[in-house]
Amino acid sequence: MSVNFDKLEIRNYKPLGEVVFEYLRNAILSGELKPGERLMEVTIADQLGVSRTPVREAIRKLEKESFVIMIPRKGAYVADLTKNDILEVLEIRKELEGFAAALAAERMTDEEKDAMNDVVESFNRSLAHMDKKSMIDSDNEFHSMIFKATKNQRLINIIYDLHDQFQRFRLIYFSEFNNFKEIQESHGRIFDAIRKCDADRAKEEAENHVDSIRELVNKWIAE
């Protein structure tokens, strides 16, 4: 009859190491912790009011995600992100997101297509109102739906990983995109191809989408 509070608590339970991990990960992703910055265990532990143990766990995990680099007996530092790093990321993204779009064209169910249509329309509405925050949300949702439609969880994880790395770069170097109109058109073309189960065109359009990002970055690199 009454809600089982124990169960709820159990569900919500997260080891401290996990909490610290997410905290630090977010701080790095948002650019709050800058490349090269040192991560000292006691400092972080004191800040968060925990002991060194969970902090160490968190740092180890971040290292595996290559968000920090560790030098034995010296310490951990927020990983650098060079221009070359980001070009590597975009090179892979182009290939994998193109691939994902092609798979999506083959595997997306009708229900998923309907839901996707809603997202596209939502993006358009947000664009009409110039609601930037809402556009970003819809944009993320749009791509997530493509990835999910591949039904390949590993592929999804890899792509998200690459997105995170790019996201960090973006927040560090140039804080915003403004080419929403272009994004809208690109989404339209990608979705159209997927809806028509045209894998080749979906792939091409998705590749173009990433390429336009790459061009932006290249232009930025050239300064």
Q: Please report, as ranges, the residues that interact with a copy of itself according to CB under 8 A.
A: 13-15, 17, 56-57, 60-61, 64-65, 72-73, 85, 88-89, 91-92, 95-96, 99, 152-155, 158, 162
CA distance 53 to 222: 44
- 36 touching DNA, by CB under 7 A: no
CA distance 81 to 165: 8
Question: Distance between terminal CA atoms of the chain?
Answer: 64
Q: Is 71 helix (H, G, I), strand (E, B) or coil?
A: strand
Which residue lies nearer to DNA by CB, 10 or 128? 10
CA 100 to each of CA 44, 214, 215: distance values in angstroms, whole numbers, following the listed order: 39, 18, 21
List the one residue from 33, 76, 100, 108 that touches DNA (CB under 7 A).
76
Choosing among DNA, a copy of itself, none, which partner's interface includes residue 54 (Cβ < 5 to 8 Å by kind)? DNA
- 40 touching DNA, by CB under 7 A: yes
CB of 51 to DNA, least distance (A): 3
CA distance 164 to 67: 10
- 8 touching DNA, by CB under 7 A: no
- 164 touching DNA, by CB under 7 A: no
CB of 22 to DNA, least distance (A): 13
CB of 172 to DNA, least distance (A): 22
Site string for DNA, 14-33 (x = CB under 7 A): -xxx----------------
- 35 touching DNA, by CB under 7 A: no
List the one residue from 11, 73, 129, 154 that touches DNA (CB under 7 A).
73
CB of 68 to DNA, least distance (A): 11
CA distance 72 to 138: 43
**Can you state the angle between helices 41-48 and 52-64, rounded to 10 degrees?**
120
CA distance 214 to 160: 17
CA distance 78 to 107: 39
Choosing among a copy of itself, DNA, none, which partner's interface includes residue 154 (Cβ < 5 to 8 Å by kind)? a copy of itself
**Hey, what are 55's tokens?**
């902090």
Count of residues that bind DNA according to CB under 7 A? 21
Matching residue, tokens 């997306």? 108
- φ and ψ at 197, to 5 degrees? 55, 30
Binding footprint of DNA on the chain (CB under 7 A): 10, 15-17, 38-42, 50-54, 56, 70, 72-76
